[in-house]
Every structure is written in structure tokens, then in C-alpha cells.
Amino acid sequence: MRRNRELVYSTQKTDFQKDRAYSNPRFFTGHARDGFDKVIVVGNWPEVVAAYKKAGVEVEVVKGPKMAGEDPIPAPKKHPSEGPRSDAPIPEGWRDLPWEEKRPLAQNFADQPVINGEQADQVIEAEEKRRAEEAEAAAGNGGNDLAYMTDDELREEIKAATGRLPHPATGRDKLEAQVREARQAAAAAAQ
């Protein structure tokens, strides 16, 4: 049988890709399945890794979350002083993109494979935040005043800059990011 697909061993319950097969590592029988070029193992499943390496299949291990709420995205391998992994543009409506388009976008900013939609969202959000902080530092603002503003003050500043009041459920981090973006746009327009 010709091997031509990837097999992902993961406990994920959503965000499956059509070009990959999935298997839950909790139900691993100890034998490698035939027909795969590559196996991606999410989390610490040494028996799965050993079986596929023994069968001569390429194995990639991706750190998975250990506890609820823990960030599943691996820490960057680069030192922060080395700069961004990519300067690929992030489209404004990226959250509305289908998984098939979101994943390659997120992969521009990740050192490990992006294997599901939740991870893609987290990677892109982290890159947006990193870019906003970098732009603030370059502008000399530092954004320290945002820490002293209430959510309502942040919403009003966004409304003044964009003409639209943010959704009431928008979280603090997103509000601060929108204020930074509005300030950057105003600074760029003033130049």
C-alpha cells in the first residue's frame, strides 16, 4: 500500500482537516497503522512514537496542553531579539476565514505545526499582540496609560477613533489592542 497521508494522534474533538486521518492515542493498540507517510503525535504518548519510529514512519511530536487552560502553543524557539518569524500580513477579517485558510496564515508565525483552529486563532492573536506592542515601543508610547483606563474609557476612545462602539462582550485585551491600532493609525495619518 502506498503511503500518502498524515495521521494525527490527538485527543482533540473539533477542527479536523480532510487531508489527515485522526486517532485518539488513548485507544492505541501498540501497533503502527499502515498507509501513512507521517504521524503527528500531540502530547506525551511515547508508546505511539516508538511504534511508528520502529515501523520507519516519520514522527513529529507536538507539545499538547497538560491542564485545562494551559496554552497549547509551544514557546518560540527563536530568541525574542531575533524579531518576527514572518512579516506576513494579517487580514482584518481573519477570524472569519475557513480553517483551510487560517492554518497557513498561523503557520507563518509558529515554530511548530498548527494542527487545529483553536491553535491557529491563538497563534494569530499572539502575533497581533506582539506587533501592537512592538509598534507602541517604536512610537515611544509604551501604552502604559491603557492599564489605568476603564473598559468604558477604552470603548469611548475606540468609538471616537472609528465611529463604532465595540461589542459589549469584547474582552480587555481586545479593547486595548483596538485602542493601540487606532492610536497607530492616527499617528500615521498625522505624519
Which pLDDT tens digit goes with each residue over 34-56? 888 899 998 888 899 999 999 99
Closest by Cα among 187, 175, 178, 152 to 92:
178
User: Does residue 90 fall inside a structural domain?
Assistant: no
Work out the average pLDDT over 168-175: 85
- Per-residue confidence (pLDDT) for residue 55, from 0 to 100: 92
User: Does residue 69 fall inside a structural domain?
Assistant: no
Q: How many domains does the chain have?
A: 2
Residue type, 14: T
Q: Show the cell assigned to 158.
A: 475606540
Find the helix or strand (DSSP H, E) in which 35 lies: none
Q: In the listed set 62, 87, 103, which residue is the last one of a domain according to the structure?
A: 62
User: Does residue 42 fall inside a structural domain?
Assistant: yes
User: Does residue 31 fall inside a structural domain?
Assistant: yes
- Per-residue confidence (pLDDT) for residue 101, from 0 to 100: 82
> How far is residue 126's CA from residue 101's CA, in Å, rounded to a whole number?
18
- Per-residue confidence (pLDDT) for residue 73, from 0 to 100: 42
Per the structure, the complete domain to which residue 21 belongs is given by: 5-62
User: Does residue 55 fall inside a structural domain?
Assistant: yes
Indicate the average pLDDT of the chain.
78
Work out the average pLDDT over 20-47: 87
Work out the average pLDDT over 66-81: 41
Residue 87 pLDDT more than 80? no
User: Does residue 21 fall inside a structural domain?
Assistant: yes
Q: What is the DSSP letter of 142?
A: T
> How far is residue 104's CA from residue 86's CA, in Å, rounded to a whole number?
12
CA 112-117-122 angle, 5° bins: 65
Which pLDDT tens digit goes with each residue over 107-164? 888 877 888 888 889 889 888 888 877 777 666 554 557 777 788 888 888 888 888 8
Residue 84 pLDDT more than 60? no
Q: Enumerate the β-bridge partners of residue 61.
A: 41
User: Does residue 40 fall inside a structural domain?
Assistant: yes
Q: In the listed set 32, 62, 92, which residue is the last one of a domain according to the structure?
A: 62
Residue type, 32: A
In 24-92, DSSP assigns E strands to 36-42, 58-62
Work out the average pLDDT over 156-174: 86
- Per-residue confidence (pLDDT) for residue 70, from 0 to 100: 39
- Per-residue confidence (pLDDT) for residue 4, from 0 to 100: 56
- Per-residue confidence (pLDDT) for residue 26, from 0 to 100: 86
CA distances from 20 to 17, 23, 35, 59, 130 (A): 6, 10, 12, 14, 31
- Per-residue confidence (pLDDT) for residue 81, from 0 to 100: 37
- Per-residue confidence (pLDDT) for residue 80, from 0 to 100: 39
User: Does residue 116 fall inside a structural domain?
Assistant: no
- Per-residue confidence (pLDDT) for residue 65, from 0 to 100: 54
- Per-residue confidence (pLDDT) for residue 68, from 0 to 100: 42
Which pLDDT tens digit goes with each residue over 58-71? 999 887 654 444 34
- Per-residue confidence (pLDDT) for residue 183, from 0 to 100: 85
> How far is residue 68's CA from residue 162's CA, in Å, rounded to a whole number?
36
